Amino acid sequence: TQLLEQSPQFLSIQEGENLTVYCNSSSVFSSLQWYRQEPGEGPVLLVTVVTGGEVKKLKRLTFQFGDARKDSSLHITAAQPGDTGLYLCAGAPGSNYKLTFGKGTLLTVNP
Amino acid sequence: KAGVTQTPRYLIKTRGQQVTLSCSPISGHRSVSWYQQTPGQGLQFLFEYFSETQRNKGNFPGRFSGRQFSNSRSEMNVSTLELGDSALYLCASSSAPGGQETQYFGPGTRLLVL
């Protein structure tokens, strides 16, 4: 059983469209992290959300942590081809626990 | 600051062989974690080392092992390779153990087992 479920698994959109990807779990996390991974590279951290209900913005990307700290979403406004990549969420139940990753959402933004 | 480096970047082996992968963390980082990434299973945790001690281990068979040296560099070894071991192996370093601190990933070693 995957601890963190990401949806959708694949997403192909046109440049300029908006999109939202989701990361859900039945477990509570002390924090959730979002990463983007480009082909041939390792994942790069985008943001860490810590507080239930927290919203963080990174240019055109908006990250939200659910009130119950069991889920998170990533919204991209006016997507660009440079946003193409694999978006991964990851979390740990506590500081002494290993980081667990979702399987990711593979986003393709077509020009 | 130099990032996490992994060597080699690409490797082709045959079934039954063994392989050793190397990871050099960011300077000053003492925690190194290893992950296996495959299209079907995604990123799966292998093990974490901090100050030369294994702190956490994932659900992988004993053929997968690792170690960390006093300079924080880490190696992982896979013995008796199987076709299913073909994957991207990623290492990540952080300043503290566990899942709370930011992990910085290397580019990975892509292993193909024939």
- Separation between Cα atoms, residue B20 and residue B76, nearest integer Å: 6
Predicted confidence (pLDDT) per residue in B69-88, tens digit: 999 999 999 999 999 999 99
Contacts A–B by Cβ distance under 8 A:
65
CB within 8 A of B87, min separation 6: which ones? B36, B37, B38, B110, B111
Least Cα distance to B54 among B29, B74, B71 occurs for B74
Residue bearing tokens 């390792």: A42
Q: Which ranges of chain B does DSSP label H, i.e. alpha helix?
A: none
Least Cα distance to A92 among A25, A45, A42 occurs for A25
Distance from CA of A55 to the nearest CA of B (A): 19
Q: Report the DSSP pairing between strands A105-110 and A10-14.
A: parallel
Tens-level pLDDT at each residue, chain A (111 residues): 558 999 999 999 999 999 999 999 988 888 899 999 998 899 999 999 989 999 999 999 999 999 999 999 999 999 999 999 999 999 887 766 778 899 999 999 999
- Separation between Cα atoms, residue B94 and residue B50, nearest integer Å: 9
| Structure tokens belonging to residue B67 | 């170690």
Which residues 30-69 of B have a C-beta within 8 angstroms of A? 33, 35, 41-45, 48, 56, 58
Predicted confidence (pLDDT) per residue in B30-74, tens digit: 999 999 999 888 999 999 999 999 998 999 999 999 999 999 999
Strand partners, B111: B11, B87
Which amino acid is present at B101? E
